[in-house]
A and B are shown apart, each in its own frame.
Chain A
Amino acid sequence: SQWGEENLQALSIQEGEDVTMNCSYKTYTTVVQWYRQKSGKGPAQLILIRSNEREKRSGRLRATLDTSSQSSSLSITGTLATDTAVYFCATTGTGGYKVVFGSGTRLLVSP
């Protein structure tokens, strides 16, 4: 498996709190993407961070990538109830087109 952690993780927080989700991967990657999947929908990309970047921001989202420890994180500041979803990280190795997803983190944000 490409991933260090296989079990779906679950987090439950209150609206307004900040949250950080982590993933670790085993094999070389050129790109890490973070996706969000809301109930009944397909995943949608949030952020893409390349191996030569350590951090990327988009609105309330911040992704980090540490290639030395083969880990990535996604932080959401000031969460909203609408952030309730499953969040996946996905890696792309050499060749650039095979994308492998982790098992995800289920985030529940209560109003």
Chain B
Amino acid sequence: EAAVTQSPRNKVTVTGGNVTLSCRQTNSHNYMYWYRQDTGHGLRLIHYSYGAGNLQIGDVPDGYKATRTTQEDFFLLLELASPSQTSLYFCASSDAGEQYFGPGTRLTVL
């Protein structure tokens, strides 16, 4: 069965802090995605990738970096976290069609 895992599941940091969110998929999918979910906005695409070393810019990329180190692993980096980045973050993987989502990481920036 398709599997996408995320860590940590919850994270609290302070303004200006450095945060890395991790995602791993065991689906052998080429595409991986990072979304943020906020009330009233649904899921908004931050970055996505179609393979190791590749990065594509999404719709709300400001303040975020991402890196795809292997086919399995996709990281989201917040180098100077701000309170506006408090959100629920989802990772997903896909290979032309259905997206498989992880359980989410709830990030709070104080």
What residues make up the interface of A, taking CB atoms closer than 8 Å to B?
A: 6-8, 31, 33, 35, 41-45, 48, 88, 90, 96-104
Contact = CB atoms under 8 A, between A and B. Distances in A.
Interface SS, B side: strand
A64 B56 CA distance: 30
A41 B103 CA distance: 6
Contact of B56 (A43, A98, A102): A98
Contacts of A45: 98-99
Contacts of A7: 40
A100 B97 contact: no
Interface residues of B, number: 27
Interface stretch (B42-50, B66-74, B79-87): B42-50
Contacts, number: 58
Contacts of B42: 8, 88, 101-104
B35 A101 contact: yes
Interface of B: 4, 31, 33, 35, 39-45, 48, 50, 56, 58-59, 90, 92, 94, 96-99, 101-104
A48 B45 contact: no
A8 B97 CA distance: 24
A43 B41 contact: no
Given A8-B42, A96-B96, A98-B56, A42 B31 contact: no
